[in-house]
Structure 1
């Protein structure tokens, strides 16, 4: 995997902890707690990778690279259910890995949800 260059981290994203909350009826709503904002690189995955993921029921549509920060953005530091908002779109993180095991960038494999709606 090719690591991004510093100038390629050109989009601002906000990272949220996501929780499903019961609204007292039969429905559930998503409660998002902001964790932090950072610069990222958003990359759309290729068609063959997308279809391989769909067949395993993991709809990964984008790769998002963020700079690795100890205690904050490394794979072992991130909570299980996180979502990102970037440029008007919400992404649900499916997998978190250390890009090339180098400790410089964290790679978030995500599924795009929909256009961002302010809560």
Structure 2
């Protein structure tokens, strides 16, 4: 029974991804870091606030997927995220990153969801907030 539920969930995620033709960015982590350092991009953490409180990337913006997927407040998003910059979304494993990208793209943002999650980004040398 659990396998059937897991398969149905996975199939739903694949259909959602295919319907919106969005995939994880092909930008290398070096390119991501360079774009952020040059102020061409921002990193948006789409994990829940409790995960954020356990640790987050220095300079990242919190915008939980759990909040924007239910009822996106476009004005609040506009106040948090700059237009005209690349938005790199990240989460723990890459799934919420994709879901958030779909929503933010509809709002006119250049969104590039990251597949590496928070732990992998830290391992890759992205600075952890103090």
Q: Report if TM-score (shorter chain) is over 0.5.
A: no
Q: Which has the higher helix share?
A: 2
Give the TM-score of the pair, scaled to structure 1: 0.29
Q: Which has the higher strand share?
A: 1
Give the TM-score of the pair, scaled to structure 2: 0.27
